Structure 1
Amino acid sequence: MPPNPDFRLPTHARRSTGGTKLGSIHLRRGQKSGSYQGIIPFERTAVVVIAILFSLLFIVSISLAFVGAAEEESYFKPILDEVVASSPGIVLLGEDVDVDVDEPSVGVRWSIIGCGEGNFLNGSEGMHGVLQCGVPAIPLDIYVDGAEDAAVKYDPDYLPWVGSTGQRRIIQNLYQFDSDHVLDVHEARLFPFDNYFLTSTLRAVNKDTGENVPIQKLATIELTSNFYIVSSDVESYVNITDGSTTTVPSREIDLKIRRPTDARTYTLALFHVNWMLAHVTLGQVYLAWKSPQIPLLKRLLSVFAILLIIPQLRNTMPDAPGFDGILLDSIGFFPQMILCSISGVVLMLMLIRREPTEPSSSPREVKPPVQEQDYAQVLSVPATPRTPAPEYSRSPPPSPLGAWGRPFSSLLTLKDELSRIKEEDARSSAVVPKSKHKSSHRQSRTFFEP
């Protein structure tokens, strides 16, 4: 019969014949090695190389988030354009907001800007990408939250310029100032879902004339590294007492501060991972109780490692406060550490309980290992001479020993003995007369049948 090229051996036969295995696909003999029913096989090395390439592609794709980030349009440009179009004048922009919950305080770095014709210094235009905005052309004193002393005394004469071009050099410390505000932290315990609210008022005074200058706009940045800030301002008035009460214009700003969405997501993810690790310690105790044959030392080391990992994960939470009893720690960190510690203590008690109670001074008796040949000699059935049976009566053969749980050599010995007995019975049956052979055969058959 000619060989069939499409014939395939079973799986165990293919493995035993030592055939070539490409990936996880076995090719038939009659087909090409390049493909199998449209499926191209891959070597394990090729799979590893493809995985590495995909990993590098993912890393490069994530790194592209930094490309062009500095070239984005300024956040304040639409605000300044609106001021130039609707109400030109003095604008204060909070270009940096530092929220310190532990202090607790909020620090804002303000920039003094003049927008519109005649309100900015020549040669300083183009701030934040707006050609109609620059540093103010008049000296100003800025007062914050009704303070008696000015937070900054701005004077445009201090700004230098380039002699060849006449362009003003913008020195940040000459037109920027800082203001500190007290922060209400009654929701700090709800981290990372804590929200804060701040209100402040500012007014500007012309240093040369002493007149109050209306502030047309107050705004701050929207996103910092730790907080998301929503600002809104409103025109207001304040009474100034200097011999007589005078109502002067001012500007109020409201800041609503909360955690960014990604910071909340990462914090909750770490919170859930810590609880999973704490549950793993409970599983280690349960497995140690149900499986006493596995060494307890490995389980104890894993619990000890989790005790060290949980505090580190807690500290990696974005802008996480100290261990001051916030809600996240009350339902997370503290119960997790208690649970892991109790699991470690239980495993230590189980380890002590399973230690041998024999005194260490008396050495244990070590028995020499029993060889398979010696064990077989002890359990093997000795060959006994067999006497010929009478002509009409047959004595039953000696019953074999029970072989359950015996070594393999004992089973072989018993098998040889039974084979030898059957051969002797066959030879003895051949010499019995025909008339008596059936009776003898019936007797032996009755004996061997169960």
Structure 2
Amino acid sequence: MSTSKIVNATLSLLMCPVYASKHTFSVLVQSFRVHPVAATFKASIVFLLGCLLAIFLSSSDGVANDPAFQSIGDTDGIFFLGHAYQTDLDARTVTFSWLIGGCGKYMIVGSETYHPTEYCGAPNIPVNVYIDSSSTASFTYGPTLLPRQGDGSILFVQSLNQFSTTHIVSIRGAVGFWAHNQDFYYPFDTYDIATVFVAINPVNASTALPILRLTVVDAVGSFLPATEETAATGTLNASAVAARVATIHLARTELAKAFTLVLFVVNWALAIAVLYLIVVAAVLPATDVSEGVLLVPLTVILTIPALRALFVDAPEFGIMLDILGIFMQMALVSLCSIGATLHVVPKPRA
């Protein structure tokens, strides 16, 4: 068989394994000259390795290397960089730690902080931060509180430049026969958080400071955030002031998706292997099935829930992968166990 046919058949399985034709599968079987089950196993391994390789090769430089983010050093204003360090999906809340900084004329020359360019650093003016139209400042920053060395240079202490906020994520769902919320689509579930920031100089409370960026800069656990932000007009003490609105989208990382789907495929491989054993026993009456075969379905029944528990963040039972996976797998293996019992040939007693 020519190499081109083997390559074309393999690519067909990689590009669309679910809808691969019977001819494609038979080509692989003939090329490997092995049993169909072994060919399926090898093709699955190649497909999974290809997916993992594509995920690891796709990388992002992050927010700090974004040209639009670096360009804020050419403008005067305040920026906030967030880190989502705690995600509680049961309570539908996400806690962010925000680092404040200043650019242009609002920067302390020579100060250090997490900044995108050399033109940004710790703010040189006091700043009161109001979040989500609150009348009380959520954070008060003062440059005079920063420690200094003997030569007058600023020492960066992150606790003096950061504050934490907790936000409620959006709740989306469906009613009816397929009643569910975002969790149902795990690991493709997404969550959104919207927030409004207003920065005021308490020395001149009538004017809001320009906020250049309000974004989350790094991943948290199995989630990768993406931020959409825009300048807007907010309300503070019944007065309209300049504000910035950010909508933060949380989605599972590609590695978390791949890890979960690999376990999902492995569970199905185990279930199909058990089915194959029972089909062989039923179709080939001349084949004697020993009592030891009964241990295979029993072992798989115990293994499938254990692998399901290894899902990233292990959501509660009832997600889409459970309907397409563990529910059908356990039912299939249980029926196979009954079939194995009916076809077992007991060993004669000595």
Specify whether residues 307 and 73 from structure 1 end up closer, same or farther in structure 2 by C-alpha distance, changes over 3 A only: closer
RMSD, aligned CA: 2.9
Instruction: Give distance in 2, aligned partners of 1:330 and 1:150.
Output: 47
Specify whether residues 185 and 99 from structure 1 end up closer, same or farther in structure 2 by C-alpha distance, changes over 3 A only: farther
Structure 2 residue identity aligned to 1:82: S
Instruction: Give distance in 2, aligned partners of 1:173 and 1:140.
Output: 15
Task: Tell me which of 230, 251, 267 is aligned to 1:234.
Answer: 230
| Residue 77 of structure 1, CA deviation | 6.8
For 1:181-213, what per-residue CA distance to the aligned partner results, in whole angstroms no more than 9, with x for missing partners?
Answer: 111243221112222222111111223333432
Specify whether residues 126 and 256 from structure 1 end up closer, same or farther in structure 2 by C-alpha distance, changes over 3 A only: closer
Partner of 2:142: 155
Partner of 1:174: 160
Structure 2 residue identity aligned to 1:347: A
| Residue 98 of structure 1, CA deviation | 4.1
Aligned length: 282
TM-score, normalising length from structure 1?
Answer: 0.56
Structure 1 or 2: more strand by fraction:
2
Instruction: Give distance in 1, aligned partners of 2:288 and 2:171.
Output: 52
Task: Assess if the C-alpha contact under 8 Å between 1:139 and 1:156 holds in 2.
Answer: yes
Instruction: Give distance in 2, aligned partners of 1:232 and 1:74.
Output: 12
1:196 equivalent in alignment to 2:196: no
Partner of 1:140: 127
Partner of 2:331: 338
Q: Which runs of 5+ in 2 are unaligned?
A: 1-52, 173-181
| Residue 100 of structure 1, CA deviation | 3.4
Specify whether residues 347 and 201 from structure 1 end up closer, same or farther in structure 2 by C-alpha distance, changes over 3 A only: same
Task: Tell me which of 260, 276, 279 is aligned to 1:283.
Answer: 276
| Residue 160 of structure 1, CA deviation | 0.9
Is the partner of 2:115 in helix, strand or coil? helix
Specify whether residues 296 and 330 from structure 1 end up closer, same or farther in structure 2 by C-alpha distance, changes over 3 A only: same
**Aligned residues: percent identity?**
30
Task: Assess if the C-alpha contact under 8 Å between 1:91 and 1:112 holds in 2.
Answer: yes
Q: Which runs of 5+ in 1 are unaligned?
A: 1-61, 357-363, 367-450
For 1:150-200, what per-residue CA distance to the aligned partner results, in whole angstroms no more than 9, with x for missing partners?
Answer: 22122222211222x433221111111111111124322111222222211
Structure 1 residue identity aligned to 2:93: S
Is the partner of 2:203 in helix, strand or coil? coil
| Residue 287 of structure 1, CA deviation | 3.0
Instruction: Give distance in 1, aligned partners of 2:116 and 2:78.
Output: 17
Partner of 1:130: 117
| Residue 331 of structure 1, CA deviation | 1.3
Task: Assess if the C-alpha contact under 8 Å between 1:141 and 1:205 holds in 2.
Answer: yes
Is the partner of 1:263 in helix, strand or coil? helix
Specify whether residues 129 and 75 from structure 1 end up closer, same or farther in structure 2 by C-alpha distance, changes over 3 A only: closer
For 1:235-280, what per-residue CA distance to the aligned partner results, in whole angstroms no more than 9, with x for missing partners?
Answer: 1112334xxx421111101122322334323322322221121112
Instruction: Give distance in 1, aligned partners of 2:209 and 2:332.
Output: 63
Instruction: Give distance in 1, aligned partners of 2:292 and 2:281.
Output: 10
Task: Assess if the C-alpha contact under 8 Å between 2:113 and 2:122 holds in 1.
Answer: no
1:219 equivalent in alignment to 2:215: yes
Is the partner of 1:128 in helix, strand or coil? coil
| Residue 319 of structure 1, CA deviation | 3.3
| Residue 110 of structure 1, CA deviation | 0.9
Question: Relative contact order: is structure 1 or structure 2 higher (C-alpha 8 Å, sep ≥ 6)?
Answer: 2
Task: Assess if the C-alpha contact under 8 Å between 1:74 and 1:128 holds in 2.
Answer: no
Specify whether residues 73 and 189 from structure 1 end up closer, same or farther in structure 2 by C-alpha distance, changes over 3 A only: closer
Task: Tell me which of 222, 242, 266 is aligned to 2:259.
Answer: 266
Partner of 1:90: 78
Task: Assess if the C-alpha contact under 8 Å between 2:62 and 2:217 holds in 1.
Answer: no
Task: Assess if the C-alpha contact under 8 Å between 1:143 and 1:202 holds in 2.
Answer: yes
Partner of 1:103: 91
Specify whether residues 293 and 147 from structure 1 end up closer, same or farther in structure 2 by C-alpha distance, changes over 3 A only: same
TM-score, normalising length from structure 2?
Answer: 0.71
Structure 2 residue identity aligned to 1:114: G
Instruction: Give distance in 2, aligned partners of 1:253 and 1:207.
Output: 23
Task: Assess if the C-alpha contact under 8 Å between 1:97 and 1:220 holds in 2.
Answer: no
